[in-house]
Every structure is written in C-alpha cells, then in structure tokens.
Chains A and B, each alone.
Chain A
Amino acid sequence: MGKKTPLYDWHLRHGAKLVEFGGWDMPVSYEGVLAEHQAVRERCGLFDISHMGEFFVEGPEAEAFLQKVTTNDVSRLKDGDAQYSLLLYEKGTAVDDIIVYRLAPRRFMLCVNAANIDKDREWLLSHLSGQVSLTDRSPEMGMIALQGPKSGAVLQALGFDLASLKRFQCRETSLAGAKGLIARTGYTGEEGIEVFLENGDLLRLWEAFLKAGEPEGIRPIGLGARDTLRLEMGYPLYGHELSDVVDPLEAGLAWVVKLGKGEFIGREALARIQERGPARELKGLTMEEPGIPRGGYAVFAGTERVGAVCSGTFSPSLQVGIATALLTRGAAAESGEIFIDIRGKMKKAKITRLPFYSRK
C-alpha cells in the first residue's frame, strides 16, 4: 500500500479507481477518463494532487541559494510571483521540474513532483550553504487544483475574485474558512488555480469547491484525465519528457533556462550543449493511421530509427492518438514520412506543433 492523501476515504466513498503513483495511492478516475477530461475542458474539475511536495526555503540568503540551484531567474520574482523552473545535475540533465513561489523577500516555497520529493530534498540539502534553511513540509500539506472555464464562477461563489490574480501569481488567503496559498497555475491548459493548504483543512475546502461548483457541473478528476489534459498541452511530465537522462534544451525548455543570470548548477554543461546544439529535440506527433502511441515505442523517419515516444495517449479532445517524442535533431525535417512502431506495425504519424490542443 502506498501513502494516502487526507481525501483517500472520500475518493473511495465516491467510486474512485485507485492507482499507485510516485509511492501514493491516488484516484486514477471516478466516472471515467473521457467524461472527466471533457468536464475540465468544458466546465470545471477538481483534482486532489496532495501527493505533490512542498519545500520552504527561508533566510537572508534564500534567493542566492535558489539562484544557484534553479535554472530560471529568481531575481525577477516579486512577492506573490510564481515561476516554472528546473533543478539540474552538473551534467545538465534534470533532477526535477518545479515551481518556485516568492512569498516574501526571504521566504520561498517550491512545489516538486511527488516521486521526486526525497531525491530533491537530499539534492537540495547537499548544496545548502550560507544563511538559508530548507524545510520539507510535504507530509503536512495538501494541494487541490480547480481547473476549467467555469473556475472563475466557482471561486466567485466562494468570494474570491480570480481576476485579482494574474497568471503565475499567488496569494495567501482564506477560502471557505481554510487558510492557504492560492496560485493561478495549473497543468491542464485551462483557466484555474491551485491551492496549497494544511492537511487538516483539505476536506473542508474540497467539499466547499464541490458545493460551490454544483451549478457549474463540477466533477472530481483523477490522474488519468490529468495526464490526457497535460499531454494535449504538451506539458512535460518528469520521467517522460524530462528526466535524469534528458536535458532541458532537448526537452524544449530553453525558455526556463537563463544562461545569462550567473552561475547555477548545470550551467556549464548547458552552455556547451547550447553551443553545439542539442542532439535531440522534443516533437509532437499525431497519428495519421488508427493506433495509439505509448511511451517507449520507436519512431522512424522513413526506414531510419530516429528516436522514441516519451508519452502517448488517445486525445479525448482531438479523438486521435498523440505523442511526444525525443527525436534526433533535424531528422523530422529531412524526411517527409514519420512512422511509429506500434507493436510491430509501422503506423504513419505527422509532426505537430505543440500544444496539440488550443483553448476554444
């Protein structure tokens, strides 16, 4: 048995199918992945993502420390700003992808992937120096995401004005009597927020969202639809598009890497990769023949093997098989024909600009 979020019993009572993910027993779906996916694209959905990790970095040298261990430019953040960023190994591959929140000039929060909590904490602690402390509050904190075009209406019903928060801004506030950090971020491509709060307040806020969202047709959403939603947007998932053998330049994340900001771990390796150009590039692929690509399937340009699928699924919005794949740089441009080896059969696919899905 894996770890349980404070909403575990609620999920069971409401018919969730459970799946092990990153050491946690998480809901994969309630009424079905397709219906849940559609609910988020058309109305709104509620996600229990309490498996995600929360670290607090505090002290006079907190910013200097984060500049050293993350790839994005922390000095650009003002209080209440959030920033997508990466932790890298010296060789330039990824420890994790994270979001950095500046709560106060000397107080930051990091949101990290569930499966990487222990690894990230140990890695950060090993680089900790100066007047700065790192506290892993993952065990005591939970996280709920509200996503979908009706999110603003649901928040309004709880007395929160979504328009008061710009994208990638956050604020400590009280919602339905629960104190938490509310951030205008998400992993679906839709309007919405993510809330961090103490475990003890999680159920109260969860139920308040469901009640406030009832007129809007709100639904609880499992990890199954969370994955199809993020893949339609081309958002990376650590362990698939990004990993300890993939660097951010080949993963298409150069925009998160600020080589000019000064020293940071992995900078030298990335500068070298930048100079000669990355060997591979992340591409979106859409099936032109029936079939669903899956992680690990080989990709061919003509008859030459040029890479492999990172993530693949059936896109509920587009009703076709889609995939991300790491391909030899330039291979896709040179050959007109791309194929994916689906269980021994070559199935035609075409290179597609990410995201696969654009909001209506």
Chain B
Amino acid sequence: MNFPEDLKYTTEHEWVRIEGDVATVGITDYAQEQLGDIVFVELPEEEETIDKGDTFGVVESTKSVSDLYVPLTGAVVETNDPLLDSPEIINEDPYGEGWMIRIKLKKPEEVKELLDAKAYQKLIEEEEEA
C-alpha cells in the first residue's frame, strides 16, 4: 500500500495536499481498499463553506456507506465532478485522478494537526491489529 511522503493525512483516512492556501482532498489507498468497489460518491456544492470535522460528502460501495470528513476549514473552490459518473476512479487512482475537492483554507494553522505519512501508516498498522 502506498502513502506518499508529500501528503498529509487524517485519522478518518483522508489525504490532503497543501499548495499555498489551497488543499486538495481525497481518500487514502487504505480507505479505498477497505471500501472495495466504489459505486457512488456525493460531493458538496462549490463555494460552500465547510468546517473541520463536518462531513463534506459520502462514498458508497455495493455494501456500505461512508462519510467523508472535512480535514481543514475553508471554502470549496472546486469539486472533481468526473467522479460522479465514474466513482471507480477513486479505487484506481486515489491520490491522483481520484481527488475529491479543493478547499481554500480559512484556518491554515489547522494544517499542523494533520498526520504525516509515517504517523498515518502507524495508525493503520494499529487498526489492522485491532
């Protein structure tokens, strides 16, 4: 399983790529693997303001529904609409074409609270053992 070093992570299995004051968000390789075939995704409206810890959408496999959690407070500036018709892209390329939303950050200081790749990997190992 792959966890790029240049990304930040959440305990809810989202990844975040910070570029200036914009964060790109998706779900991790581990999350897509756990979910299995993703068949439906719901994303927020553009320009919507979202708060850290709230849900910004859902991903569904044939069997389960999972909430997507906002990793950083801000305004949604872009959503990856091709996912709505082809949610399988999330399984195929979770860190690339499978990105979900871009957030213009309102509280950049929140970035410090995210996990780095090493800490995230440790979290997964603990979940796997549990």
Interface set of A (CB-CB < 8 Å, partner B): 17, 28-29, 32-35, 37, 224, 227-228, 290-292, 294, 313-314, 316, 321, 343
The smallest beta-carbon distance between A227 and chain B, in angstroms, is 7
> 7 tightest A-B contacts by CB?
A314-B39, A34-B37, A33-B62, A32-B37, A292-B40, A292-B60, A33-B37
Contacting residues, chain B, for A34 (C-beta < 8 A): 37, 39, 62
Residues of B within 8 A of A321 (CB): 40
Interface on B for A, CB 8 Å cutoff? Answer: 36-37, 39-40, 58, 60-63, 65, 84
Q: Are A314 and B58 in contact, CB atoms less than 8 angstroms apart?
A: no
Contact B62 A313 (CB under 8 A): yes
Q: A316–B62 contact, CB under 8 A? A: yes
Q: Collect the chain B residues with CB atoms within 8 Å of residue A294's CB.
A: 65
Kindly identify which residue among A35, A291, A313 contacts B63, using a CB–CB cutoff of 8 Å: A313
What number of A-B contacts does a CB cutoff of 8 Å give? 40
Q: Is the interface of A mostly helix, strand, loop or mixed?
A: mixed
Q: Is the interface of B mostly helix, strand, loop or mixed?
A: strand
Q: Distance in Å from the Cβ of B110 to the closest Cβ of chain A? A: 26
- Residue of B36, B58, B63 near A343 (CB, 8 A) is B58
**Minimum distance in angstroms from B93 CB to a CB of chain A:** 16
Q: CA–CA, A17 to B8, complex, Å?
A: 27
State whether A228 and B84 are in contact (beta carbons under 8 Å apart), knowing that A17-B36, A290-B40, A292-B40 are contacts in the complex: no
CA separation between A29 and B65, bound complex, in Å? 17
Residue pair A224, B40 in contact (C-beta under 8 Å): no
Closest to B88 in A: A34
- Is A314 a contact partner of B40 (Cβ separation < 8 A)? yes
| Closest A residue to B64 using CB positions | A294
Tell me the bound Cα distance from A37 to B36 in angstroms: 13
**Alpha-carbon gap, A32 to B40, bound state (A):** 15
Interchain nearest-CB distance for A231 vs B (Å) = 10
In the complex, are the beta carbons of B37 and A290 less than 8 A apart? Answer: no
Sample of 5 more A-B contacts, CB < 8 Å, known A33-B36, A33-B63, A224-B36: A28-B63, A29-B36, A32-B36, A34-B37, A314-B40
